[in-house]
Amino acid sequence: MPDLAIHEKIAENNQAVIDNLLKESEGGFQAFAPWVVTVAFYKALHLVECILYVDGQLDRRKPLHSQNHTERNDTLRQRKYAKLWKHYYALYNASMTARYLTDAGNGGVEQYFQQYFGSVDKIRSMMLNHHLRQIEYIFEDRKKRLAGES
């Protein structure tokens, strides 16, 4: 089972990829937008695993680790994680759309993405600066609580 440091490092690596994709996307939004959304989701996934791990330690029990998306989603649907679920699910759903074009019509990938996500600024504001940022805040709060109890 990966520990807190491994999940945290993977989340940091995903942020580096996001940063590079955003730089590249300024000249070609359509080519990189699905990857920005997808990598943002995977960063969120690893931050969620960090949160679950820390919660296990804070509750004086074995740290939690999800084995798959279904198990993780079921855990996050619990009332305890309602705020986290709201932000995680938005990224999860956007990632599924980005990866599988779940509602793509005849206009092609680029047109569909423009309709679904809008601009790079919309992805930045909603997916990164809102949903992903809220998950980061929750994780930082948990880390502070853990450090205070150590």
Where are the chain's structural domains? 4-149
Global pTM value: 0.86
pLDDT, one tens digit per residue, over 6-40 is: 999 999 999 999 998 888 766 655 667 788 899 99
Domain 4-149 CATH assignment equals 1.20.120: yes
What is the pLDDT at residue 29? 57
pLDDT tens string 38-58: 999 999 999 999 999 999 888
Q: What is the pLDDT of residue 150?
A: 52
Average pLDDT over residues 48-74: 87
**Over 80: is that where the pLDDT of 109 sits?**
no
pLDDT at 61: 73
Residue 112 has phi, psi (to 5 degrees) of: -65, -45
Q: What is the 3-state secondary structure (H, E, C) of 14-68?
A: HHHHHHHHHHHHCCCHHHHHHHHHHHHHHHHHHHHHHHHHHHHHHCCCCCCCCCC
pLDDT-derived band at 124 (thresholds 50, 70, 90) equals: confident
In the structure, what pLDDT confidence band is assigned to residue 121 with cuts at 50, 70 and 90? confident
Mean pLDDT taken over the chain? 85
